[in-house]
Structure 1
């Protein structure tokens, strides 16, 4: 077993572009090239001991485990100013696994309807005069995987616990679960099935070709109990931001969960939620591991993080100011933490441990054949 097993190593051994669409081939090429000479980079030299080392650029692909950590922190910093001093709720809207086949056939359509149905459900409950009687806000993040890399499509939603009424008053949610989850589940199911039926009638599900399959599938879905999960987030401010940031930048598998890669198989660690959250090991054939990972490559241009209600981009600043005024809070922008520690750590020489590394040149990218891993040629650079 190796302690340095990574997704990049697994792809380098088992990735085969044959039969893959252009988007999945593109993602694999990005991940294979990430932080190698294929991306180019910079040359650093220590002014004390003359130690020289290259640093290669990241691919910045949203499916890359090496690039999402920094992006997560940057996203959290930008969102800090949008947090309200109210209780937040974490809701999860899950699609039944019966729809997994349709998700692969029409990912853009199913994912769009999932976002719309989840928001329409919360919006309807929030506008109900017997509940909150106002406009709510929601930030939703799309996840498509389970811990064992199986297909498990669901939305993680962070919802401020209250609504802004038409009279400008803030109405705080009193329930421990925001709304009854059984009622949310029934409404969510009805709206999603209705939207799927309408999409089929208008030809948006044209890849579902078996006669009678649409009606049979939708009737079976209406006879199934759908899962909606809700719990309160007891902390506020930066803790809530970090909580959401973990979900916004999470990918199907992180390098920390890959325990070993050899010539035939990949060993990974996962949490079994059905067995009291115990951590277990799963051994997959290399080709099966890559197949499961590629199930979760999103179509190009599909936004996996979306904001609704008073958190929508077009009205967020104005509506948040109204809510803070209703809560009698002077609006101040919290101090944003910088990444100086990370920058200073990058400047420390690994040889003499002094912060004396400086850039002396730039590495030119090495061009690779399509679908091929980097072969670590001698790189060239210019000063």
Structure 2
């Protein structure tokens, strides 16, 4: 029989934690507890119709499809203050699938080297391109999945169209595409392979034991063209914010893409980009769905959203001020944006529409043994 299906329901039904490491076990536990009595919450009452409702807290885990919408909104509101009145470019750097085995064994090393190689490539182009000759800024987001939940490691980059020189001048981009894609691809390939070889020599890939196999993989990927995608510039600030929201907090799969469940088989919707984004459906056994989902849980503490160049956290305020002065645009007002939170104590009543619901009591959370926790 078909039924409503969510990531949470599939984890509750099909997940076996016996073979999971402690990090993945904790992540999955948070996702299964999200917005349930195990998380605790608030009992609310309307001051008009007197209706009582219970609201359970979310887990706020970055892999949770129920929590990322609000997190994305808050993050984008903060990033809005860093937007420049210039065109923006969207680039995507993709890792060859031949390296997926290395990602399985050493994800933290490969992901870190990927960020480094992407920024090294773009930074060199920014300094060496004649009409720029300065420092670029970049916001980069790591995605590890394809539409069918397979491993497909790539980095989305959003780049303002221009460079800041050492003299404090702004040199704007002059072309529809920031840099030639083929040249970017080959420079990126060389930097990434060189970086991986360095990690091999320093012992960071300690789970890879066969030196001949290592050389074989690296020689193989050097002989292939690597995929770099570039989209033409975005001119409207609202469009840039929409891009930030679209890519910043996306997870491997949202509940909206899960169509139905029939027994132990999960049907999901995906786009086939080999056929111009045609919508298709895919059925997976519950255990296989869980296996693919778990591939995309990031290493503990790994930052999947990073800022580089004049957008880096350390120098952003100072350098954005210099860029706006060079553009003769006044700096944006640095006013903190108020955000709603799950600890909000009142809001309009969804039932009667006339009253306001207020918290009447706090509902404690419970641990795995059913005991009240603080």
Q: TM-score range by the shorter chain?
A: over 0.9
- The residue aligned with 1:81 is 81
Query: Which residue number in structure 2 is paired with residue 360 of structure 1?
Result: 360
- Report whether the alignment pairs 1:100 with 2:100: yes
Give RMSD over aligned pairs. 2.3
When residues 172 and 142 of structure 1 are mapped into structure 2, their CA distance, relative to the original with a 3 A threshold, is same
8 Å contact 2:4–2:261 — kept in the other structure? no
How much does 1:169 deviate? 1.4
- C-alpha change, 1:131 and 1:161, in structure 2 (3 Å) is same
Would the alpha carbon gap of residues 29 and 380 (structure 1) be closer, same or farther in structure 2, given more than 3 Å must change?
Answer: closer
Deviation, structure 1 residue 132: 1.4
Structure 1 partner of 2:71: 71
Query: Matched residue of 1:214: which SS?
Result: helix
Moved more, 160-169 or 116-125: 160-169
What secondary structure, in the 3-state scheme, does the structure 2 residue paired with 1:212 have?
helix
1:333 and 1:286 map into 2 onto residues whose CA distance is 50
Quick one: distance in 1 between partners of 2:304 and 2:77?
A: 19
- 1:342 positional shift: 11
Query: Quick one: distance in 2 between partners of 1:355 and 1:293?
Result: 42
Q: How far apart in 2 are the matches of 1:57 and 1:298? A: 23
Q: Deviations over 1:32-84 (max 9, x none)?
A: 00000100011001222221111101000000000000001100111111000
> What is the 5 A alignment of 1:121-140?
121-140=121-140
Please give the per-residue CA displacement for 1:140-176, whole angstroms capped at 9, x wherever unaligned: 0000000000000000000011101122211111111
CA distance, structure 2, for counterparts of residue 290 and residue 309 of structure 1: 38
> Which residue number in structure 1 is paired with residue 301 of structure 2?
301
1:1-383 correspondence runs (5 A) = 4-333=4-333, 347-368=347-368
Once the 2 structures are TM-superposed, how far is the Cα of residue 129 of structure 1 from its aligned partner?
4.8
1:45–1:198: structure 2 CA closer, same or farther, 3 Å change rule? same
Aligned-residue offset at 1:351: 3.4
User: How far, CA to CA, are the matches of 1:33 and 1:304 in structure 2?
Assistant: 24
- Report deviation, 1:380: 9.3
Whole-angstrom CA distance in 2 between matches of 1:77 and 1:277: 30
Cα distance in 2 between the residues matched to 1:358 and 1:96: 53
* Structure 2 contact 132–171 (Cα < 8 Å) conserved: yes
SS in 2 for 1:166: coil
Q: CA deviation at 1:341?
A: 12
- Tell me by how many angstroms 1:211 deviates: 3.9
Query: Aligned partners of 1:2 and 1:90: how far apart in 2?
Result: 40
The number of residues matched between the two structures is 373
Cα separation, 2, equivalents of 1:355 and 1:28: 38
What TM-score, normalized to structure 2? 0.94
Specify whether residues 34 and 166 from structure 1 end up closer, same or farther in structure 2 by C-alpha distance, changes over 3 A only.
same
Residue 213 (structure 1) shift: 1.3
Asked if 2 retains the 8 angstrom alpha-carbon contact of 1:80 and 1:336, the reply is no
Q: CA deviation at 1:346?
A: 7.1
Structure 1: which 5+ runs fail to align? 370-376
Q: Evaluate the alpha carbon distance shift between residue 3 and residue 158 of structure 1 in structure 2; reply closer, same or farther with a 3 A threshold.
A: farther
Report the alpha carbon displacement of residue 186 of structure 1 after superposing the two structures with TM: 0.2
Structure 2: where are the runs of 5+ without partners? none
C-alpha separation in 2, matches of 1:119 and 1:131: 19
Change (3 A) 1:286 1:27: same
Instruction: Tell me which residue corresponds to 1:374.
Output: none
Q: 1:346 to 1:277 in 2, by over 3 A?
A: farther
Once the two structures are TM-superposed, the CA of residue 340 in structure 1 deviates from its matched residue by: 6.9
Distance 1:60 1:342, change over 3 A: closer
Distance 2:3 2:87 in 1: 41
What's the offset of the Cα at 1:246?
1.7
TM-score norm. by structure 1 comes to: 0.92
Q: CA deviation at 1:209?
A: 1.3
